[in-house]
Each structure stands twice: as structure tokens, then as C-alpha cells.
Amino acid sequence: MKILVCMKQVPQKDAPLKLNESGTWIREDVSYEVNEPDAYALEEALRQKEKHGGEVVVITSGPARSQQVLREALAKGADRAIHLEDNAFVGLDALNTARAFAAAVKEEQFDLIFTGLQSDDYGYAQTGVVLAELLGWPHATIIMHIEKNDAGIRVKRELEAGFFQFVDMPLPAVLTIQSGINKLRYATLIGIKQAKNKPLRKVAMADVQSALSTNLQKIERLYVPQKTKQTQFLEGPAAEIAKKLVDKLRNEVRVL
């Protein structure tokens, strides 16, 4: 099976975040890491390849720093990588990111495309689904398990309240992978050395520009929730205070 894994570099979960000047995103000077669900998507792809043979290709978009995500994936065992390298990719919405990916891999024939369920920063959970639509492929989300069969694949989806759904799908297909479905491997030191010799194709903004349009979605303002604490003293006879208190709990705090 030939599998493409879409990966994203996101700010480290534990990193203290500072907003940028315009208050629309965070400042660049934080530590970055692989988006967690994408790491599980990669792991699943590597396991599928180990079972059925084939090739695992990883793709990301973003500035030079985001190449680290691809290097790590190559060190873990991916065969080659595609980097859509430009600062401008950071600000793309899910539709345009999916368009850019589709344009960058239009010469390739994949059996499966994996994405993480969602990104830890924007959290849209849309890119994979939109990509499937653009390619005209079926898709399934929140995947817990993948089994190859003669007709295609059978996947297990996580629903709410402890329910699961099994879906039979033809190939090619797009799957968005849930975190925690497998045990992540570490890059080995030898793997890191070997990654240097694996192919990494760079795609410039200009190469995919014609497929893109203006963002339909944008972040207007980002802010840290204000912590406020107010103390009010209710005065008067006990019965009246009780009445006021009930009113506040019901209508202001809304806990009753």
C-alpha cells in the first residue's frame, strides 16, 4: 500500500504561549513539535506498510522550521517526504491547505491518505475531510483501527458515549486518525542518520498558487480569557438574602 501521511508542526503543548502584536496568532519564538494525532497517523501508516508492504510518504506545509516534522518521520521509517515550504502556508485555512496538498501530490497514486484527527493548534479537524472531497475519494474520521481486505479496507470509527462504528470502504480513501490508537515508536539513532539520505521534495508556494484562493476562514482576534473575581455582599433579612441568592444562582451563575 502506498500511504501519504499529512503532518503538521504545532507549538509544543507545554510551551508558554505569547500572542503576536496584532493578536491574531501566537509569536513565532516558541518550541514546536509534531501534532500529536499526526504522530499516530504516521505510526499507523508505518504499521500498515510493515504488514502489507508499500511506501509511506509524509507531507507538510510551513516555513523551514517545519521540516523537522518530516525529518523525524523519515527517521522513524517513512520513505520520502514532501515539504510545501513558505511562511505563507501557516496562515492558510483548511480548504486552501487541502488544495495545496492536492496540487502537490497530483502526479502521485496513493492508496490511502492519513491525517491526524485534528491539529493541536487550530483544531479545525477539516483538512483531511476537505482533501477527500477535492480528490473525489471516500473518507472516514476518528479512526481507531484499520484492516485491509480484498474489497478495500474495514475501519473502526469512534463515536460518542463508547459506541464504535465499523465501515467497509473501497480504496483509495482518506482517513483521519484518532490519537492513542497505537504505541508510538521512537526514532532510532541509526534511523536519524539514515534519514539524511532519504528523498525530500520541496514545493514552493508558486507551484501550487494557482490551486489556491483567498481564505474563507480567518482568525479575527485571539485573547487570553480574563480571570475576574468579584465579591458581593447580600444584605437584609435572611429570607430576602436567600431569595436573592437563589435568583443569582439561577439567572447569573446558572447552576440551578
Partner 1 sequence: MSLKFRGVDFIGFDALLTDDELLVRDTSRKFIEDNLIPIIEECNRAGRFPRELVKPMADLGFFGASLKGYGCAGMSNVEYGLVMQEMERGDSGVRSFVSVQSALVMYPIYAFGSDEQKQTWLPALQSGEKLGCFGLTEPDFGSNPGGMRTRARKVGKEYVLNGEKMWITSGSIANVAVIWAKVEDEDNKIRGFLVETDRPGFKAEDIHGKWSLRASVTSGLSMQDVHIPESNLLPKSGGLKSPLMCLNQARYGIAWGALGAAMSCYDCALQYSILRKQFHDKPIASHQLVQEKLTWMINEITKAQLLVLQVGRLKDKDKAGAQHISMAKRNNVWMALECARKSRDILGANGVADEYPLMRHMMNLESVKTYEGTHDIHTLIIGQSVTGIDAF
The footprint of partner 1 (CB under 8 A) covers 14, 31, 67-68, 71-72, 75, 186-190, 192-193, 196
| Cell, residue 166 | 465499523
Quick one: which of 237, 36, 202, 188 has its CA closest to 121? Answer: 36
CB atoms within 10 A of CB 119: 22
Q: Minimal distance in Å, beta carbon 70 to partner 1? A: 10
CB atoms within 10 A of CB 163: 8
Closest to partner 1 by CB, 64 vs 234, is 64
Closest to partner 1 by CB, 190 vs 253, is 190
Q: Minimal distance in Å, beta carbon 105 to partner 1? A: 24
Closest to partner 1 by CB, 159 vs 224, is 224
Q: Minimal distance in Å, beta carbon 39 to partner 1? A: 11
Are residues 75 and 197 in contact, defined by beta-carbon separation less than 8 angstroms? no
Length of the chain: 256
| 75-36-14-100 Cα dihedral, nearest 10 degrees | 90
Quick one: which of 114, 122, 140, 125 has its CA closest to 39? Answer: 114
| Cell, residue 95 | 480548504
Q: Minimal distance in Å, beta carbon 184 to partner 1? A: 9
Closest to partner 1 by CB, 193 vs 250, is 193
Closest to partner 1 by CB, 12 vs 215, is 12
Q: Minimal distance in Å, beta carbon 256 to partner 1? A: 32
β-strand partners of 202: 83
Residue 212 is which amino acid? L
